[in-house]
Amino acid sequence: MPEKAMEKARVAVLISGRGSNMAALLYAAKAESCPYEIVLVAANDPDAPGLSLARAEGIATFGLSHKGMKRAEFDAIIDTEVRKAGADYIALAGYMRLLSPEFVAKWEGRMLNIHPSLLPKYKGLHTHERAIEAGDSHGGCSVHIVTAELDDGPVLGQTKVAILPDDTADALAARVLIAEHQLYSRVLADYVRHGISHLQS
Ligand code: GRF
């Protein structure tokens, strides 16, 4: 008997610019064994380079500038688009917008983010500069569940990246990005398979 095709989790990815993490999620999803598929890539900038990349891959996209709109009003539009696409999960990937509490509440437990630091260290911006300035031995990246507080939800997975003696923030960021691309698809795949039971301790 032919094997029944695996039912894949449907993921919408929100980006603001380059979209390299989105691309990593998308390329990983091409494997037959990947338990998720990307059903929408949305951006708060219609010119985000990541949107053209997704379009070229045949993925539905949505781009709208948030400028001049109230946060909750903009988020409601994104929510409608994500639901229209039939997404079960949202992956934030370089989405540079704070989310309204209403939006976060609607997607509680079904929205992940990638952050370029070893959380709980260095929430917010300039994470690599801060890690180097502090004399840390390692930088890195974390995938976490999105909660109402910025970069604060339960951490699902992390990759440590050694800081070199002469590292600059840019050089470290480039190496951490390689780690991000691997970590995000692995953690997202685990999460849609097993949920929160796979939280790291
Ligand atoms: C990544 O470093 C991500 O961790 C951070 O913003 C950057 C986005 O890069 N939140 P890209 O758009 O995924 O290439």
Give tens-digit pLDDT for 4-21.
677 999 999 999 999 999
Ligand 1 proximity of 157 Cβ (cutoff 6 Å): no
CATH of the domain at 182: 3.40.50.170
Domain count for the chain: 1
Q: What is the pLDDT of residues 94-129, one digit of tens each?
A: 999 999 999 999 999 999 999 999 999 999 999 999
The alpha carbon of 94 and the centre of ligand 1 are apart by a number of angstroms equal to 4
List C-alpha distances in Å: 106 to 14, 65, 81, 111. Answer: 15, 22, 14, 10
Ligand 1 proximity of 161 Cβ (cutoff 6 Å): no
User: Beta-carbon neighbour count of residue 195 at 10 Å?
Assistant: 11
* Contact in structure between 112 and 25 (CB atoms under 8 Å): no
Catalytic status, residue 115: yes
User: Beta-carbon neighbour count of residue 79 at 10 Å?
Assistant: 18
Q: Provide the residue range defining the domain that includes 105.
A: 2-200
Q: What is the pTM of this model?
A: 0.94
Q: Which pLDDT score is estimated for 196? A: 63
The alpha carbon of 4 and the centre of ligand 1 are apart by a number of angstroms equal to 36
The alpha carbon of 1 and the centre of ligand 1 are apart by a number of angstroms equal to 44
- Res. 44 pLDDT band, cuts 50 70 90: very high
Ligand 1 proximity of 192 Cβ (cutoff 6 Å): no
